Homo-oligomer: A and B are copies of this chain.
Amino acid sequence: MSSAKRTKTNPDLQKERDGASFNPFSLTCLLHGGEDNVERKRELERLALDDPELQHEHLSFLSREERYTLGIKKTIRFINNCWELDINGIKDVNIYKTAVFRGMLEPLSVHYGMFLPTLLSQGTEAQQDKWFSQALNYAIIGTYAQTEMGHGTFLRGLETTATYDPKTEEFVLHSPTLSSAKWWPGGLGKSSNHALVLAQLYTQGQCYGMHPFIVQLRSTEDHTPLPGITIGDIGPKFGFDEVDNGFLMMDHVRIPRENMLMKHSQVLPDGTYVKPANSKLAYGTMMLVRSYIVSDAAQSLCRACTIAVRYSCVRRQSEMKPGEPEPQVLDYQTQQYKLFPLLSAAYAFYFASHYMMDTYFQLSGNISQGDLSQLPEIHALSAGLKAFTTQVMSSGIDTCRMACGGHGYSHASGLPLLFANATAGCTYEGENTVMFLQTARYLVKCYGASKTNEKLSGTVAYLSRVQTAAVAGKGARNLLNLEELVGAYQHRAARLVGMAANQLQAQAKAGKSPEDAWNSCSVQLVKCAQAHCHFFMVRNFVDAVRTADVDSATRAVLNTLCQLYAIHGIIEHSGDFLEDSYLSGQELQQVNSHLVSLLAKVRPDAVALVDAFDFPDEILQSVLGRYDGNVYENLYDWAKKSPLNKSQVHESYHKYLKPFLQQNKAKL
């Protein structure tokens, strides 16, 4: 239990907790995989949160340089502690890390997120002997330098070259233009002394495309940049203050032939290029990264909902009835309409991240046994879900912030920082529109295959049963029935995929090149990919509710949330369901009344539903979202610590205001 939890709780919040229809701990256990896991999580969190070496001022009181320095200090403490306290395993390490950093980002995350895994997956045994153990033990620090100033998502467009010189058995790494400067890699600017540089490989006069090369950037003696290396920080960003995202230009930098990672492709000493056996292996890592992004998106949305829901119970505003006390903001239907669908989405995303993780491990097993059959489907799904969840999460945090009124705009709420950091997920690791179009390409392909009676399986199996013709409502339907709702989303997704595919075909028939046809249908293609992801979300949420090992009270509240998630989506996209008369206008009216009932049904359980996420106050970093609800006292305490309050009279008064006021007074 966090220390905050021991103080007296705001009575409004206590009343909410007392009135909940279920025990939030049962949901906490469901979300975290059982009671043992919850206990271990809390134990690891306390280890980090109580560590005196990890205490510091509120982030928003620090300058960017101070935050970078703090990030480095925390990183080192984090690594040393993992070693000393024997914190192992990706799950434990991640829990501990989250509690160490508490809303900060880690300047060296690329070292263990990309540098180490790439060494492992693409280095030969000899290379691993040489580099991996140094890197694993942080005797060197590496980053992964892929994107360039002028080139992002499109890897083939990268300009950096690695030209093999058989005379010296070296590669010459070079940045031929300004736009080829490596730009954005985390930890590149000031921290790393090595990088895995992705460059176009040239040997024997021919280009063989992108390959990874180990380049030493800075001296291991004094950290100064090596000859030929121009390196620095790319400057301040929306968020990520702690991270030295960097730039790198190389002027004919020579590295030994052995510094090309050669597990898959090779360049022999004479310059002969040897092709890789299977180029699809890298997709596994990409899927893992995307699974983490989905999981992060879920976490970020959970945090924002926790803050906004708790504060909306503490905050009282306006007068609903003359003479009565100001109601809790959460009693306003408009506030419920903002927050509860997001709360239901947070649960949907949580369950989706469980699915992604499970699927990843299952898939990895299959791949290691040579079975790549599921790869395209899961790859397409992971691209779409990455985009779908980050998009909803990003705008959702913003909605939560604005739902907290003026105080949401203060850094005391924690929401501006949460937004600024989390919204980056919409752009990195594949820009969201590009991601949706990848998913769409696979869906359209599957739709085409189904027309030739090819059997589809997994998450796209439903495309075999596409009905694009208008389907009238089938009489009286119960639109609170979960399978009925799944059916509605499935119908919408199938119809939109079919429509996009048919449009594409029509454009091609009209004489357009495949590329022009694709581009001219791309708005529709994005929409069909979104509909597919939305269908997956509803389907998966329904399955999660059905299979959840929980008591009946908990199942009932999950069921309500799941209904709300699906009903709200129909209202937000009502045109898609009305367009072919799948729903009638009258049915939509029913859906609207269902929404009103569901909001009212969630209301008494809202606080318990966010408590179930089990964020310690120190991780939430929000005065508004405190577990004890003592918002106003702590808002005042927080403000008093603001750097501008260090003196009663700010120095700018003496320098500027005083002479100005005196000048003006004299003139009167």
State the A residues within 8 Å of B (CB).
60-61, 63-65, 68-69, 72-73, 76, 79-80, 133-134, 137-141, 147, 149-154, 156-157, 178-179, 181, 183-184, 189-191, 193, 220, 222-225, 232-239, 244, 247, 315-321, 326, 331-335, 337-338, 394-395, 398, 401-402, 405-406, 408-412, 416, 420, 423-424, 426-428, 431-434, 437, 470, 513, 515-516, 519-524, 526, 571, 573-581, 585, 588, 592, 595-596, 632-633, 635-636, 638-645, 648-653, 655-658, 660-661, 664-665, 667-668
Contact of A515 among B140, B234, B321, B592 (CB under 8 A): B321
A235 touching B60 by the CB < 8 A rule?
yes
Given contacts A64-B643, A157-B326, A632-B178, contact A334 B526 (CB under 8 A): yes
A411 touching B238 by the CB < 8 A rule?
yes
A123 to B116, CA, bound (A): 71
Residue with the greatest number of chain B CB neighbours at <10 A, chosen from A69, A238, A398, A424? A238
Q: Can you identify 12 A-B contacts, CB atoms within 8 angstroms?
A: A69-B655, A137-B664, A139-B664, A156-B319, A157-B317, A178-B636, A220-B665, A223-B649, A235-B642, A321-B513, A470-B585, A574-B578
Closest to A71 in B: B652
A427 touching B409 by the CB < 8 A rule?
yes
Contact of A660 among B138, B416, B571, B640 (CB under 8 A): B138
Contact of A650 among B190, B316, B405, B656 (CB under 8 A): B190
A447 shortest CB reach to chain B, Å: 19
Cβ of A406: which chain B residues have Cβ within 8 Å of it? 147, 152, 183-184, 427-428
Cβ of A235: which chain B residues have Cβ within 8 Å of it? 60-61, 410-412, 638-639, 641-642, 644
A464 shortest CB reach to chain B, Å: 24
Closest to A434 in B: B318
Given contacts A190-B653, A578-B578, contact A635 B515 (CB under 8 A): no
Given contacts A234-B642, A247-B639, contact A334 B522 (CB under 8 A): yes
Cβ of A326: which chain B residues have Cβ within 8 Å of it? 154, 157
B154 touching A635 by the CB < 8 A rule?
no
Contact of A402 among B247, B401, B432, B526 (CB under 8 A): B432
Cβ of A220: which chain B residues have Cβ within 8 Å of it? 661, 665
Given contacts A220-B661, A575-B574, A578-B578, contact A68 B332 (CB under 8 A): no
Q: How many copies does the complex hold?
A: 2
A320 touching B642 by the CB < 8 A rule?
no
A149 to B653, CA, bound (A): 26
A409 touching B238 by the CB < 8 A rule?
yes
Given contacts A76-B660, A579-B578, contact A238 B416 (CB under 8 A): yes
A38 shortest CB reach to chain B, Å: 33
A139 to B660, CA, bound (A): 8
A208 shortest CB reach to chain B, Å: 17
A195 shortest CB reach to chain B, Å: 16
> Closest 3 CB pairs between A and B?
A574-B575, A238-B416, A235-B642
A661 touching B150 by the CB < 8 A rule?
no
B519 touching A332 by the CB < 8 A rule?
yes
B656 touching A405 by the CB < 8 A rule?
no
Contact of A579 among B316, B401, B574, B660 (CB under 8 A): B574
Contact of A223 among B332, B412, B653 (CB under 8 A): B653
A629 shortest CB reach to chain B, Å: 13
A64 shortest CB reach to chain B, Å: 7
Cβ of A427: which chain B residues have Cβ within 8 Å of it? 402, 405-406, 408-409
Cβ of A137: which chain B residues have Cβ within 8 Å of it? 664, 667-668
Contact of A334 among B133, B178, B433 (CB under 8 A): B433
Cβ of A151: which chain B residues have Cβ within 8 Å of it? 317
Cβ of A335: which chain B residues have Cβ within 8 Å of it? 433
A316 shortest CB reach to chain B, Å: 7
B234 touching A639 by the CB < 8 A rule?
yes
Cβ of A424: which chain B residues have Cβ within 8 Å of it? 409
A410 touching B319 by the CB < 8 A rule?
no
Cβ of A247: which chain B residues have Cβ within 8 Å of it? 636, 639
A632 touching B526 by the CB < 8 A rule?
no
A72 to B658, CA, bound (A): 11
Cβ of A63: which chain B residues have Cβ within 8 Å of it? 63
A64 to B152, CA, bound (A): 32
A152 touching B317 by the CB < 8 A rule?
yes
Closest to A338 in B: B433
Cβ of A149: which chain B residues have Cβ within 8 Å of it? 632, 635-636
Cβ of A652: which chain B residues have Cβ within 8 Å of it? 68-69, 72-73, 190
A232 touching B645 by the CB < 8 A rule?
yes
A333 touching B636 by the CB < 8 A rule?
no
A592 shortest CB reach to chain B, Å: 8
B579 touching A588 by the CB < 8 A rule?
yes
Closest to A79 in B: B660
Cβ of A655: which chain B residues have Cβ within 8 Å of it? 69
A87 shortest CB reach to chain B, Å: 17
Given contacts A332-B519, A578-B579, contact A76 B410 (CB under 8 A): no
B653 touching A411 by the CB < 8 A rule?
no
B426 touching A402 by the CB < 8 A rule?
yes
B638 touching A237 by the CB < 8 A rule?
no
Contact of A644 among B60, B244, B645 (CB under 8 A): B244
Closest to A415 in B: B238
A94 shortest CB reach to chain B, Å: 21
Residue with the greatest number of chain B CB neighbours at <10 A, chosen from A402, A577, A595? A402
A157 to B329, CA, bound (A): 14
